[in-house]
Amino acid sequence: MKSSALHRDTDLILSVEDVNKTFDGFKAISDLNFYLGDGELRTIIGPNGAGKSTFMDMITGRTRPDTGKLTMHKPDGHDIDLSKLPEFKINRLGISRKFQTPSVYTQHSVYDNLLLSLPRSRTLFSSIFYKESAADRAAIEEALETIRLQDLRHEIAGNLSHGQKQWLEIGMLLAQKPSILLVDEPAAGMTDDETERTGELLISLAGKHSLIVIEHDMTFVKQIARDGKVTVLHQGTVLCEGKFDEVQNNPKVREVYLGRGKAA
């Protein structure tokens, strides 16, 4: 039952099958199997060292699996073997990653940050002849609306709050129209209000994009998971998968994760 072909009926966008990764004799990822539906918002939790970052690193090509398959399923029916591709080519396929710390151009305005992130505009930006097109402006307006920073479009990004910077960076990634967006602990360091708004933002992206969100904050996980699936990683493999309540009440999860006092 591990053939990716068998899973095509269910509109998958990503299959990770029998993946292993060892660092200096330490098995960071162990027989990992994971399937992401097209348009799904999947939350991943797991204790420190469970392999969450390594998992994302393998999807984006930052780290190569020792064995196993990572396949992106394109809407046109083509399957692409990610394990053979360099990082920049995986990015060009529409797999984008948002790291935990915000990365924006602090000297530029919110608007110009979004302009800079549009495909092709970065190399042209410094040219005095560069003028954004109507399509560019429409894409920027759409991103501003999605991240709810319309009123701060002229603000210098360096002056934004931590949460606003995170939303801006998400907007910058969205300007590239990713198919799969990987988001690493978006709520870390945010106020409660910012956390809730971030949850609303991610929920609004599901359907248009497929998302994998790693998070430790259980209130936030509950907010974004809603009726969707939560995957629990432990010792480099999937310990269990299910709805938030099922996962939270699973004795194995409580033992390895919730029982360690990190969660609600």
Ligand X SMILES: Nc1ncnc2c1ncn2[C@@H]1O[C@H](COP(=O)(O)OP(=O)(O)OP(=O)(O)O)[C@@H](O)[C@H]1O
- Binding residues (CB under 6 A) for ligand X: these are 23-24, 26, 28, 46, 48-54
Q: How far apart are CA 85 and CA 238, in angstroms?
A: 25
In one-letter notation, the amino acid at residue 210 is S
User: Minimal distance in Å, beta carbon 182 to ligand X?
Assistant: 12
Q: Which is nearer to ligand X, 56 or 95 (CB)?
A: 56
Q: Which is nearer to ligand X, 53 or 219 (CB)?
A: 53
Residue where the block lists tokens 């939270």: 248
> What are all long-range contacts of 104-108, with beta carbons under 8 Å and residues at least 24 apart?
104/157, 104/160, 104/165, 104/168, 104/169, 104/172, 105/157, 106/156, 106/157, 106/158, 107/156, 107/157, 107/158, 108/156, 108/157
User: Minimal distance in Å, beta carbon 21 to ligand X?
Assistant: 8
User: Minimal distance in Å, beta carbon 233 to ligand X?
Assistant: 6
Q: Which is nearer to ligand X, 51 or 163 (CB)?
A: 51
User: Minimal distance in Å, beta carbon 220 to ligand X?
Assistant: 15
Q: How far apart are CA 110 and CA 171, in angstroms?
A: 10
User: Minimal distance in Å, beta carbon 30 to ligand X?
Assistant: 10
Q: Which is nearer to ligand X, 28 or 115 (CB)?
A: 28
> What are all long-range contacts of 218-226, with beta carbons under 8 Å and residues at least 24 apart?
218/45, 218/248, 218/263, 218/264, 219/195, 219/264, 220/187, 220/195, 221/43, 221/45, 222/264, 223/196, 223/199, 224/41, 224/43, 224/199, 225/41, 225/43
User: Minimal distance in Å, beta carbon 232 to ligand X?
Assistant: 11
Task: For residue 238, give every residue at least 6 positions away whose Cβ sits within 8 Å of its Cβ, in sequence order, or none.
Answer: 32, 33, 34, 231, 232
Q: Which is nearer to ligand X, 110 or 256 (CB)?
A: 256
Q: Which is nearer to ligand X, 46 or 199 (CB)?
A: 46
